[in-house]
Chain A
Amino acid sequence: AQSVSQHNHHVILSEAASLELGCNYSYGGTVNLFWYVQYPGQHLQLLLKYFSGDPLVKGIKGFEAEFIKSKFSFNLRKPSVQWSDTAEYFCAVNPGTTSGTYKYIFGTGTRLKVLA
């Protein structure tokens, strides 16, 4: 079965520290990849996505992610976190409609707490 693994369940960082959150998926074909964020009390919203082209994608609020096909990974990074980045982060995958399925698979999420 397809799955998405987020290895870090809870991360605590001080402001200005660098962030990397891991995401690995198990699917052999073409995939569309997403990172969503859930700030406290707010709706889930898109941080960034990758579906083709440059494997290094940039998103909102200084986040970026790199798609490494050989490692089935799509890790999220930010060089310097802020207190306002405290949130829960979700990696998500879908195989694209050419696969015949329209399902989304989400990871279990990573709770990030940034200390001021």
Chain B
Amino acid sequence: EAQVTQNPRYLITVTGKKLTVTCSQNMNHEYMSWYRQDPGLGLRQIYYSMNVEVTDKGDVPEGYKVSRKEKRNFPLILESPSPNQTSLYFCASSRLAGGLTDTQYFGPGTRLTVL
């Protein structure tokens, strides 16, 4: 089954404790992206990747890191989480061919709480 998986689905942590949220897709998609969803603010793009070893900042990259060492995986790293990073995080993937006209497939979301 074609899917985007994220782990963990729920995470409660404390300020400053490094964490990684994993994202994996099995559709051989070139484009992968991380978003955060906050009430009243919709989805905001954190980082995206056009292919292996090619990443770029979205609109809200501060406090986050990403890496794309393999095509299927795109982990999101919070080196020193802070309470303002409490949010619902989504990973998504799509083909890049066609100039970003393709559908993005979203993961189930990771609800992160930073105390």
Contact = CB atoms under 8 A, between A and B. Distances in A.
Given A43-B108, A44-B106, A103 B99 contact: no
Interface stretch (A11-19, A61-69, A71-79, A106-114): A106-114
A96 B99 CA distance: 5
Interface stretch (B16-24, B43-51, B72-80): B43-51
Interface in B40-89: 40-45, 48, 50, 56, 58-59
Interface residues of B, number: 27
Nearest to A43: B106
Nearest to A50: B101
A103 B106 contact: no
23 contacts: A32-B100, A32-B101, A34-B103, A36-B104, A43-B108, A44-B90, A44-B92, A44-B104, A45-B106, A51-B98, A51-B99, A51-B101, A92-B43, A94-B100, A96-B99, A98-B99, A102-B50, A102-B56, A102-B96, A104-B48, A105-B59, A106-B35, A106-B43
Interface of A: 6, 9, 32, 34, 36, 43-46, 49, 51, 90, 92, 94, 96-98, 102-109
Given A106-B45, A108-B42, 4 more contacts: A6-B42, A34-B103, A49-B101, A94-B100
